[in-house]
Amino acid sequence: MLEGILFDMDGVLVNNTQAHVRAFAIFCERHGVTGWRDKLATAYGMGNDDIMHRILPPELIREQGMQQLGEEKEAIYRAIYAPEIRPVAGLTELLHALRTRGLRCAVGSSGPKTNVDFVLEACGIADCFDACICGDRVNRCKPDPEIYLKAAAALGLPPSRCLVFEDAPAGIESARRAGAGCVVALATSLDRAALEPCAPDRIIRDFTELTDLETLLSC
């Protein structure tokens, strides 16, 4: 029986991929960066620094610094997403069901703490989580397993006793490399065809499809 539940944030707690894309569009136009869309599409689930290195010219990073650029982009994202933010369908009900069963939950996100706090507070679900491991609390972001290793440890559990909810290949790889007992992928940021090669244990559209929670926890 699985005892801990580890949630990615972007595309799992909230379906915010397009908000991030819109924020990058504003950010890149402001800095005169072109050709970024295809590069961004291959970086879902990665840490902010890794994404920025993929899409920004090295000279821009040298001139303005990674931290300043990252904070600027994330401020744009929060400003445009705040009016429309809401949990992924079925999430709140699932969190309450897990809490009723005495299961512990953690967030394992490559995003910065400011973004994680923003999502948890805006969605009213901060009290549902026992721990939160953010991208700025690790040395290596996904697909490295460090985030999920630390999230499981924060719950006092081995990764093999944890179920991970993810939405991107980098996150699924991270969970697998950490030794997660079960990995469920949400087809939010990417469609099923893009997720199937990653071989998650199950693919769902959103949490309303989890009508067999006991079976899932018995993996």
- Supply the pLDDT for residue 1: 86
Count each helix (H run) and each strand (E run) in the chain, helices first: 11, 6
**CB within 8 A of 217, min separation 6: which ones?**
1, 2, 101, 103, 163
Residue 212, pLDDT score: 87
Q: Which two tokens stand for residue 3?
A: 């005892």
- 166 in the same domain as 107: yes
Q: Residue 180 — very low, low, confident or very high, per pLDDT cuts 50/70/90?
A: very high
The pLDDT assigned to 80 comes to 97
What pLDDT shows up at residue 49? Answer: 87
> Same domain for 129 and 208?
yes
Residue 32: Cβ within 10 Å count: 8
Q: Which residues in the chain belong to E strands, given as ranges? A: 4-7, 104-108, 131-133, 162-166, 182-186, 202-204
Q: Which domain holds residue 56?
A: 17-83
Low-confidence winner among 23-27, 179-183, 208-212 (lowest mean pLDDT): 208-212
69 and 132 within one domain: no
CB atoms within 10 A of CB 72: 16
- Binned at pLDDT 50, 70 and 90, residue 23 comes out as very high
Determine the length of the chain: 219
Q: What is the pTM of this model?
A: 0.92
For residues 207 and 189, the answer to whether their CB atoms sit within 8 Å is no
Q: Closest by alpha carbon to 139, among 129, 149, 154, 152?
A: 149
34 and 140, same structural domain?
no
The token pair at 183 is: 């990995």
137 and 178 in a single domain? The answer is yes
Q: Which of 31, 56, 83 is the last residue of a domain?
A: 83
Q: Which of 37, 18, 31 is nearest to 68 (CA)?
A: 31
Kindly report the CATH number assigned to the domain that includes residue 176. Answer: 3.40.50.1000
49 is catalytic: no
Contacts of 53 (CB under 8 A, 6+ apart): 61
Q: Which of 10, 50, 136, 167 is catalytic?
A: 10
Distance of CA 109 to the CA centre of its chain: 5
**Domain end marker among 83, 101, 123:** 83
Q: Is the pLDDT of residue 168 over 90?
A: yes
Please tell me which residue in 8, 50, 144, 167 is annotated as part of the active site. Answer: 8
Residues 103 and 194 in one domain: yes
Would you place residue 214 in the very low, low, confident or very high pLDDT band (cuts 50, 70, 90)?
confident
Same domain, 12 and 64: no
Annotation says 201 is catalytic: no
Q: Give the list of residues 6+ apart from residue 64 with CB closer than 8 angstroms, or none.
A: none
Q: What pLDDT score does 70 carry?
A: 93
The pLDDT value given to residue 122: 97
Q: Do 209 and 199 fall within a single domain?
A: yes
Number of domains in the chain: 2
pLDDT at residue 136 above 90? Answer: no
What is the average pLDDT score of the chain? 95
- 76 and 43 in a single domain? The answer is yes
* 67 and 113 fall within a common domain: no
Name the residue among 64, 63, 82 with its Cα closest to residue 74. Answer: 82
Looking at the fold, whether 202 and 159 belong to one and the same domain comes out as yes
Out of 33, 54, 83, a domain closes at: 83
pLDDT digits (tens, 9 = 90+) for 36-81: 999 998 888 788 888 999 999 999 999 999 999 999 999 999 999 9
Contact predicate 164/45, CB 8 Å: no
74/151 same-domain check: no
State pLDDT tens for residues 114-130.
999 999 999 999 999 99
